[in-house]
Amino acid sequence: MKIAIIGGGNMGGSIARGLTKGSLVQVENISVSAATEATLDKLRAFDNRIKVSIDNTIVVEGADIVIFAVKPWLLDEVVKEVKPVLKTEEQIYVSVLAGVSFDHLSEILGQDSVLFRVIPNTAIALGESMTVVASHNASSEQESLVLSIFDEMGKSLLVAERLMTACTALGSCGTAFALRYIRAAMEAGIEMGLYPHQAQEIVAQTVKGAAELLLQNRSHPEVEIDKVTTPGGITIKGLNEMEHAGFTSAVIRGLKACK
């Protein structure tokens, strides 16, 4: 199976790096294009077996799956450039562009094209992405294939297109929100006497461990919160102070602002 990625920047490059760590796609079958040699040099330095080119048409020719990872305003121009070498009846097209609908993708790629909208996050390069996937004109086998590819780079979830905006807020923008919490907690730790590197290690591992409790136990957050919230203890005092300051409300408002 050959995968072409048009756009080797932050997201496209992260997907390429993530693919090299899986078993479904051989590194030699990953091709990436970018507008500059400097961007491609970073991929060459990571793994020189990845095929790279500044020519989009070279990259997509013969690919089974073509991933579009360019800026949204460049998509139409890029599709117009590569369309003469695309084989709609044989290829799967994947867009990682937030806000570009299936209606528009069908308009520029063809009404019969097999299309996927995929929203990963930057942890995909580490194999830890939460990736949401929506499909159009795809068979169940094609859906399973795309999900399997992204499952090798974290976890994936098939959703209806109408939910993509909400999923983007939680899973993609959510990375920044989680990191902002970590930064705030670090600052509190420093104020209480820890060195910055000590505070960062404690908080980062604590957040990672908290997430694993939910993923492995399949429990609700409040179940795990109750385990560390003893009557009259310091945890409930801290939680109540955060709630008095509007913690939950601020998170909800911030996520809804992403729509």
Superfamily of domain 173-256: ProC C-terminal domain-like (1.10.3730.10)
Q: What is the mean pLDDT of the chain?
A: 95
Considering the entire predicted model, what is its pTM?
0.88
Band (pLDDT 50/70/90 cuts) for residue 125 is confident
Q: Which fold has domain 3-161?
A: Rossmann fold (3.40.50)
Sign of CA dihedral 202, 203, 208, 212: positive
Neighbours of 131 (CB within 10 A): 26
DSSP 8-state class, residue 75: H
Per residue in 24-34, pLDDT (tens digit) is: 999 999 999 99
Cβ atoms of 182 and 200 within 8 Å: the answer is: yes
What's the confidence (pLDDT) of residue 154?
94
What's the confidence (pLDDT) of residue 88?
86
Whole-angstrom distance, CA of residue 67 vs CA of residue 3: 7
Whole-angstrom distance, CA of residue 129 vs CA of residue 108: 29
- Give the start-to-end residue ranges of the domains of the chain: 3-161, 173-256
Whole-angstrom distance, CA of residue 193 vs CA of residue 56: 53
